[in-house]
């Protein structure tokens, strides 16, 4: 080709045939698009709008997850229920509580949850395949990643385990309907090259385990749903970049759940339909006292 001659795209590489860029996401990023305005404030607005006060129930959940993670890193001789309780105490934070007394009461309850769970639901001799393990996979439209609380091996297959510390009791329908758990199954299969169908929610406040066995069809439905959400996000993001109004392409979806939104103070529509809550309002069970 002579210098200065115009270049062209070869026929086999024409623009309509170019690979489509994958949408990089986690399950929580997809879930946040339930309210497009919340998605925009979380992932697009820079600087990120100031969030509300930290939630006490999130503090409890974070500490319990950390304690169970660190417990599996201990030598086998130290993997006892009491050591799990001590890990809760060691890593405790006082964020979001009404006062020191409520924080101390919540810590005692969380220690009890962890001790009971480790005594009744966990065999310290059976090593998990992964703890706080990052897994990932791709589909036609997604580059998906996420961190799984625990991955077990049972009867030659992987099991995705997710710890829960919320106040609401869970059912098998929660495990069945969780898009995040389904996507973790797909990512665990791809990352670890092992069969995986079963997902479990381990609810620490009650000690209950709820579960669901995925099929290839149920996983395909969840992938289709995730890809449809990703397509909507990409269209909205591109439309915003082209100059559209933020509220036109990322509108709010106001409802009672707006009470729990970290960006409630920036959303007049959300404030109009929801009650303001104290940071400790989501504590489970006796923690409310």
How far does CA 214 lie from the centroid of its chain?
Answer: 19
- What is the per-residue pLDDT across 100-117, written as a single tens digit (0 to 9) for each? 999 999 999 999 999 999
Residue 20 CA to residue 32 CA, distance in Å, equals: 23
Q: Does 30 reside within a domain?
A: no
Q: Looking at residue 4, what is its pLDDT?
A: 41
In the block, tokens 């079963």 appear at: 198
Total domains in the chain come to 2
DSSP string, 141-201: SEEEEEEEEEEEEETTEEEEEEEE--SS---HHHHHH-HHHHHHHHHHHHHHTS-EEEEEE
For the chain, the C-alpha Rg in angstroms (whole number) is: 22
- Domain assignment present for 232: no
Name the helix (H) or strand (E) containing 42. none
163: CATH: 3.90.320.10
What angle is formed at CA 237 by the lines to CA 236 and CA 243, rounded to 5 degrees?
90
What pLDDT sits at residue 16? 57
Dihedral sign for Cα atoms in the order 187, 171, 61, 233: positive
User: Are 84 and 154 in the same domain?
Assistant: no
Query: Which residue, 87, 102, 120, sits at the end of a domain?
Result: 120
- How much is the pLDDT for 286? 54
- Greatest alpha-carbon pair distance for the chain in Å reads 82
Rounded to whole angstroms, the Cα distance separating 29 from 20 reads 20
In a domain, 10, yes or no: no
On whether residue 198 sits in a domain, the answer given is yes
Taking the C-alpha atoms of residue 159 and residue 270, their distance in angstroms, rounded to an integer, is: 38
- What local confidence, expressed as pLDDT, does residue 5 receive? 40
Same-domain status, 218 and 187:
yes
Q: Is residue 154 part of a domain?
A: yes
Q: Same domain for 186 and 212?
A: yes
The gap between the terminal CA atoms of the chain, to the nearest Å, is 80
Q: Tell me which residues of the chain have a pLDDT lower than 70.
A: 1-19, 285-289
Neighbours of 93 (CB within 10 A): 16
One domain, residues 140 and 195: yes
H-helix or E-strand spanning residue 218: helix 216-241
Coil, helix or strand at residue 178: coil
Whether 203 is in a domain gets the answer: yes
Picking from 284, 25, 54, 26, the residue whose alpha carbon sits closest to that of residue 148 is 26
pLDDT (0 to 100) of residue 287: 52
Do 77 and 109 sit in the same domain of this protein?
yes
Asked if 98 and 172 sit in the same domain, the reply is no
Residue 282 to residue 55: CA distance in whole angstroms: 8
Residue 288 within a domain: no
Q: Report pLDDT for 284.
A: 77
Residues 97 and 134 placed together within one structural domain of the fold: no
Same-domain pairing of 72 and 135 = no
Q: Are strands 130-138 and 23-25 parallel, antiparallel or unpaired?
A: unpaired
Residue 165 is part of which domain span?
Answer: 130-223
| 149 shares its domain with 216 | yes
* Locus of tokens 């009672």: 256
Q: What is the structure's pLDDT at 29? A: 98
Is the CB of residue 183 less than 8 Å from the CB of residue 145? no
* Alpha-carbon gap, residue 70 to 55, rounded angstroms: 23
Q: Is residue 151 part of a domain?
A: yes
Looking at 162, 195, 223, the residue that finishes a domain is: 223
- The whole-angstrom separation of Cα 230 and Cα 141 is 8
Length of the chain: 289
Q: Look at residue 93 in the predicted model and tell me its pLDDT.
A: 97
β-strands 23-25, 208-213 pairing: unpaired
What pTM was computed for the model?
0.90
């Amino acid at each position: 080709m002579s210098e200065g001659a115009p270049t062209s795209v070869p026929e086999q590489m024409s623009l309509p045939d170019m690979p489509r860029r994958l949408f990089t996401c986690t399950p929580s990023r997809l879930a946040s698009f339930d309210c497009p305005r919340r998605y925009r404030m979380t992932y697009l607005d820079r600087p990120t709008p100031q969030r509300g006060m930290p939630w006490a129930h999130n503090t409890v959940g974070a500490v319990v997850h950390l304690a169970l993670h660190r417990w599996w890193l201990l030598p086998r001789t130290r993997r006892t229920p009491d050591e799990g309780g001590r890990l809760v105490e060691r890593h405790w934070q006082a964020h979001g509580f009404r006062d020191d007394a409520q924080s101390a009461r919540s810590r005692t309850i969380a220690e009890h949850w962890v001790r009971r769970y480790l005594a009744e639901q966990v065999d310290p001799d059976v090593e998990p395949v992964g703890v706080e393990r990052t897994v990932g996979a791709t589909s036609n439209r997604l580059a998906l990643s996420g961190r799984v609380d625990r991955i077990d091996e049972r009867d030659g297959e992987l099991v995705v385990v997710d710890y829960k510390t919320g106040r609401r009791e869970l059912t098998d329908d929660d495990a069945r309907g969780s898009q995040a758990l389904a996507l973790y199954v797909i990512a665990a299969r791809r990352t670890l090259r092992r069969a995986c169908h079963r997902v479990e929610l381990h609810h620490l406040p009650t000690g209950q385990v709820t579960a669901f066995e995925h099929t290839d069809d149920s996983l395909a439905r969840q992938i289709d749903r995730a890809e449809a959400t990703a397509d909507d996000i990409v269209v909205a993001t591109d439309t915003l970049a082209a100059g559209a109004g933020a509220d036109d392409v990322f509108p709010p979806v106001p409802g009672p759940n707006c009470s729990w939104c970290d960006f409630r103070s920036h959303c007049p529509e959300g404030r109009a339909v929801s009650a303001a809550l104290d940071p400790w309002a989501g504590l489970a069970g006796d923690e409310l006292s």
